[in-house]
A and B are shown apart, each in its own frame.
Chain A
């Protein structure tokens, strides 16, 4: 099968969906790789915006309420905090608040995550904040295959979908198989990335490759680690997560966000409040997250804060007892 990078896979999703539906268009804070769409679709549909995140993120809402399907890309999520009123007070609530009168199909793309010595403001993993808003679907894919399939579903969805792209996954340029045929991946469906019987590791975004590396390392010791990628955070695929933990009886949840009220915290609650899953647990659930500090600049301190293969291995050993 041919192989694509994360960014190439997303561009292919844009191209296919823009051909399929003339109401799909881009509002972006900077062109970047989207420039490659201009020859085919023109500057009207690949629209560069001034650095007015509040204005153009809000404009995406008005356009969506008027029959279009905007894809709005402010770049780093941290820049788009200046548009938080439009995201929190408008995008997340407008459909519900108006009694479901009109759909607001919007894809809001932003990069997240640390690992590039970008210091506290530009190394955040704010997805848990958005999970708490009610009214936004939240997708956070790991592989180029998942990114393309989920982006196509996000564009076709009739709701605001926040599409978080880990900045390392997007930038690293690693290629992996993406089929040429048309496909989508439904929002709200997790995937077991590696089968195993001894312990479940639930990992989000770039923690998935770290978890798979941990699983490969422990396999040599005869420990069979199952790795599950939720892929979508809202709605969360509780069933797949619970089924895996009921099988293994042990779980480590890996999330790059600060631990307090992280996605990992929510997943731990979804697992332990379910009676069948609770009864199947042979050890307490373990969270591997960033500590509750702003992410520091110096690489040595940043590495200390961010979860990685080593900390995942340690977490697995802890739940194995």
Chain B
């Protein structure tokens, strides 16, 4: 599917937005303004944007502990996200979820999840709902290489396969499950090889290349909408930051040269260069987008900082739905 220049620029803007959002989230975390934990998506932007560009607003996604990128790419509001990170009462979850649990059901974002692999059965259920509703909607489960060793991965792929559900399982293989390398923890060289066990296509693409991710996602979405069943799409990528930001900045357990080498292939720079080579945008036009993105993020931070803190007793609300 050929993308119009405007769509390509929107993808660039989304990638830049995710990068700037998480850079600011990391800063605000270390400044002590964000409690809890922050798992930065920096370096993996091409995956969220490539996949979500292939989706409609009414399609569903389920995300992970590293969920800001998916949430932004699906169209969530930056200010409500940042306010949630700050634990404020007008954040997405009224301060009850934080960084790991942002959801926006209006845009089909059914929630980030703090348990590795746990979103996959939930996404499978969203795909089942699309089937039961006789719609052509699809559901995407984002997860990591580590989650592909969970029972939830195997159970979900099997269920989606036998029922031919419109599900797309997107593995963001950043090659590290916290501090355990995929080269050690996986029984196969590529997670996509596991698709064979569940009788579905398994594809591995360069997750630095947003257009490669997009093209593969389009194929998977087309297949899902046509009732042909699920796809396992593996995107090879790199996490630039430590697994999660922590007070006192402990050392990343991964070899430093590998992390630095990965950072030489910045998905945003790669995409920006390509847009210039293809004459879609000038360097000045991209710089203008970068400025606008930074302003939008600053506005979100300002919104969060000006937002009210919850009343302590609000902790008692929303245990049950009316």
Residues of A near any B CB (own CB < 8 A) = 23, 25, 44-45, 49-50, 52, 54-68, 70, 82, 85-86, 89-90, 94-105, 134-135, 137, 158-159
Q: Add 4 more A-B contacts to A59-B122, A62-B60, A95-B320 (CB < 8 A).
A: A50-B155, A50-B162, A58-B120, A59-B159
Q: Closest chain B residue to A90 by CB distance?
A: B118
CB-CB contacts below 8 Å: B53-95 with A: 60, 62, 91-95
Q: B139 contacts which chain A residues (CB < 8 A)? A: 62
Q: Closest chain A residue to B90 by CB distance?
A: A99
CB-CB contacts below 8 Å: B113-127 with A: 113-115, 118, 120-127
Complex CA–CA separation, A313 to B268 (angstroms): 76
Q: Point out the residue from B113, B115, B162, B320 that lies within 8 Å of A137, measured CB to CB.
A: B320
Separation in Å of the A175 CB from the closest CB of chain B? 34
Q: Closest chain A residue to B96 by CB distance?
A: A99
Interface segment, B9-17, B27-35, B97-105, B274-282? B97-105
Q: A45 contacts which chain B residues (CB < 8 A)? A: 132
Residues of B near any A CB (own CB < 8 A) = 60, 62, 91-97, 101, 103-105, 110-111, 113-115, 118, 120-130, 132-133, 139, 151-152, 154-156, 158-159, 162, 317-322
Q: List 17 A-B contacts (CB under 8 A).
A: A52-B155, A52-B158, A54-B151, A55-B121, A55-B152, A59-B125, A62-B110, A62-B128, A63-B132, A65-B105, A90-B118, A95-B320, A96-B96, A98-B97, A99-B95, A158-B321, A158-B322
Among B91, B97, B125, B130, the most chain A Cβ lie within 10 Å of the Cβ of: B125
Complex CA–CA separation, A25 to B128 (angstroms): 11
Complex CA–CA separation, A96 to B95 (angstroms): 10
Q: B121–A86 contact, CB under 8 A? A: yes
Indicate whether A99 sits within 8 Å of B318 (C-beta atoms), given known contacts A55-B159, A65-B105: yes
Separation in Å of the B122 CB from the closest CB of chain A? 4
Q: Closest chain A residue to B151 by CB distance?
A: A54
Q: Point out the residue from A65, A90, A97 that lies within 8 Å of B126, measured CB to CB.
A: A65
| A-B pairs, 9 with minimum CB distance | A58-B121, A62-B125, A55-B155, A59-B125, A99-B93, A66-B129, A100-B318, A52-B155, A62-B122
Complex CA–CA separation, A65 to B132 (angstroms): 13
Indicate whether A96 sits within 8 Å of B121 (C-beta atoms), given known contacts A54-B152, A59-B128, A65-B105: no
Q: Closest chain B residue to A105 by CB distance?
A: B321
Separation in Å of the A263 CB from the closest CB of chain B? 19
Q: Closest chain B residue to A58 by CB distance?
A: B121
Q: A54–B93 contact, CB under 8 A? A: no
Separation in Å of the A156 CB from the closest CB of chain B? 12
Q: Closest chain A residue to B108 by CB distance?
A: A66
